[in-house]
Structure 1
Amino acid sequence: MDGRAAAPGAGTILNALATGIGSAFAIDIETRATVELVPDAEAVTGQIAGEPDADTELIERCVQLVIDRFGDDEGGVVRTESDVPMAAGLKSSSAAANAAVLAACDALDVSVGADGPIDRLEACLLGVTAARDAGVTVTGAFDDASASMLGGITLTDNTTDTLRSRETVSWDVAVWTPPERAYSADADVDRCKRIAPMARLAEELASESRYTEAMSVNGLAFSAALGFQPDATVDVLDQAAGVSLSGTGPSVVAVGDAEAIAAVESVWGARDGTLIRTETRTHGARTL
C-alpha cells in the first residue's frame, strides 16, 4: 500500500492575516511525499529528508485524516523531500500537506478528481484541516494550499475556506531568501490587522486581475507590519511587474517577463542569502 505525490510551493499576492482574504500563485518548485501503509499498524510516523529534528506532526496528521476517511485503521510512514525552503514564506507547509494527502490517497487507491470520491479542493481542505490541527498556520492557509493544489492564481476567503476565483498566468519568477527564517505561526496577527485598509486595496486589485499591482501593495504593507526592511522590494520595483514579501517572510518574490526577472536577479544577486529563478505553474499537485 504505497503512494507517491508532489505539490508545488507558492508565492504571495495578498497575505490573509489582515482580513482573512488571501491570494497566492503556484511556482515550479515542489515537495514530494511517499506514503507506505500497513494494515493494523499502531500509528503514522513522519520523516523529512535532511531535517531529522523537524516537526512531522503536519504530514502525519494529513495521512491520518485520509485513513480516517477512506482507510481501515492502517498505519505506516510518510516521508517528504523538498526543493521548497522551510520557514521561508514559500508555502512549504501547504506543499507538504497537499503532497502527503495525495500520496495517502494513492496508497489507498482513492481517486482524487471529478470522478472520484473526493475532488481536488476537498483533498486540499484535508491538508488545511491538518495544518490547523498541527498549529502551523494562523489562517488555515487555504489561499496558499489552493494555489499549490490547483496551480495558477487563487483568491480565497480563508474565514470560510471558499475559493473566490482561479486564473492562470505565465510569469518568470525570482525568489530571494535571506539567511534568517520566519514561522507563520509566530506572526503578529494584531499588528497585521492594523494594515487592513491596505489589504482591502490589494484585494480590490486582485479581484480585478491586477495581480502584480496587488503584490506590490501587499509587499510594502506587510513588510512594515511584520518588521522586515523593504529594501529588497523597493530596489526592484522599477524592474519587476510585481514584487512582494511572500507569506510571513522572509522571502521576497518578483514576477515579470524574462528580461525583467534577469534584471531583478542582477540586483538581488549582490545580497546575502539564496536566489531561485523559476516560473509560475499552471498545474498543481500531482500523483507520481
Structure 2
Amino acid sequence: MDGQAKAPAAGTVLNALATGTGAAFAIEEYTTATVELDDATGVTGHIDGVDDGDTRLIERCVELVAERFGDGQGGYVETASDVPMASGLKSSSAAANATVMATLAALGATERVSREDAARIGVEAARDVGVTVTGAFDDASASMLGGLTVTNNDEDELLARDTPDWDVLVWTPPEQSFSADADVERCRQIAPIAEVVADLALDGQYHEAMSINGLAFCAALGFPTEPMMEAMDAAGVSLSGTGPSFVAVGTSDQLAPVRDRWERREGTVWLTHTQTEGTLTDV
C-alpha cells in the first residue's frame, strides 16, 4: 500500500502566537511525502538529504492516519522538500499535510475525511511531538486548502478563506529559527496589535495586516525591521512565522526594487506565487 502527496509552503499574514488567531497563505514551493504501508510494527521515517533529521512529526502523522482509517499499519515514510527547514515558511505544516494525505492515499481513504479534518490530524501530530506552540492550524489550513486562511488556532477553527493572486518574494537568511523556541510571553504583550491585524485580515485588508504584523513581531521576536523598510514598495511585507524569512507580496513590478535590495543581503532571495489548490495527491 503506497501513497504520495505534495503540500505547499506558506507565508504569514498574522502570527498566531499573540492571541491564537492566525492567518497564512500558500505559496508554490512544495514538500513531497512518499508512504509505504505494511504489516510491520511501528513507522520509520527519513527526510531526504537530512540524515539526522527529526522524523517524529511525519512518523506520528502516519500512525494517526493508520489508526483511524486503517488497521494500525506500520511502514516507511520519506519526505523531500524545496522548503528550507526552520525558516518560517511552514515546512513542518507542509511535511505533515503531505504525509497525512499520502497515508490516506495509501489506504484508499482520501474521500473519507475532509481537507480541514486532514489538516487537523497533522496539527494533532505536531502537538503530540512538540514542534509547535500554537498548533499552527493557520499554517496547516493554508497549506492543505490553498489560498489564504484566517483561523482560530485555539479551537482549530477556520474563520475565513480567500484565494489572492500575488507574486511573492522571499528572503531567507542563512540562520534557522525554530517556532517551538519562540518567546510566547513576549509575543502576548503585543496582543492588542494582533487583534487589530486580525480585524484587518477578516476585512480582506491583507496587505496592511501583513505589514503591521511584520513590524510588531520583528519587535517581539528580536528581528531587525530594516528588511521590512526595504520592502515598503511592495503591497505588503511581513516576517514569516517566527522567522527568519521575510515575505513580500504584490506585482512583479512592485517587487523588483525589493529584490534588488534584499539580494544585497546574505542568504537566498527567490520569487514565487500564491498557490490556491492546496495539498495534491495526484503527483
Category of TM-score, reference length = shorter chain = over 0.9
Pairing 1:239-250 to 2, within 5 Å after superposition: 239-250=233-244
- 1:23 shift after superposition: 0.2
Secondary structure (helix, strand or coil) at the match of 1:32 reads: strand
CA contact (8 A) 2:43 2:74 kept: yes
| Counterpart residue number, 1:163 | 158
- 1:142 shift after superposition: 0.1
Pairing 1:115-264 to 2, within 5 Å after superposition: 116-237=111-232, 239-264=233-258
**In 2: Cα distance, 1:88 partner to 1:44 partner:** 27
| Counterpart residue number, 2:270 | 276
- 1:205 shift after superposition: 0.7
Q: TM-score, normalised by structure 2?
A: 0.99
**In 1: Cα distance, 2:147 partner to 2:258 partner:** 22
Moved over 6 A (4+): none
**In 1: Cα distance, 2:128 partner to 2:194 partner:** 26
- 1:73 shift after superposition: 2.6
CA deviation string 1:230-278 (max 9, x = no partner): 11111111x1000000000000000001101122111101110011110
| Counterpart residue number, 2:4 | 4
| Counterpart residue number, 1:56 | 55
- 1:202 shift after superposition: 0.6
CA contact (8 A) 2:67 2:73 kept: no
| Counterpart residue number, 1:266 | 260
User: Unaligned stretches of 5+ in structure 2?
Assistant: none
CA deviation string 1:99-156 (max 9, x = no partner): 0000000111112xxxx22110111100000000010000000000000000000000
CA deviation string 1:43-79 (max 9, x = no partner): 1010001111111000000000000001113111000
Pairing 1:67-106 to 2, within 5 Å after superposition: 67-106=66-105
CA deviation string 1:75-100 (max 9, x = no partner): 11000000011000000000000000
User: Unaligned stretches of 5+ in structure 1?
Assistant: none
CA contact (8 A) 2:86 2:179 kept: yes
CA RMSD of aligned residues (A): 0.6
Percentage identity across paired residues of the two chains:
61
- AA of the residue aligned to 2:159: R
Q: TM-score, normalised by structure 1?
A: 0.97
- 1:227 shift after superposition: 0.5
Secondary structure (helix, strand or coil) at the match of 1:78 reads: strand
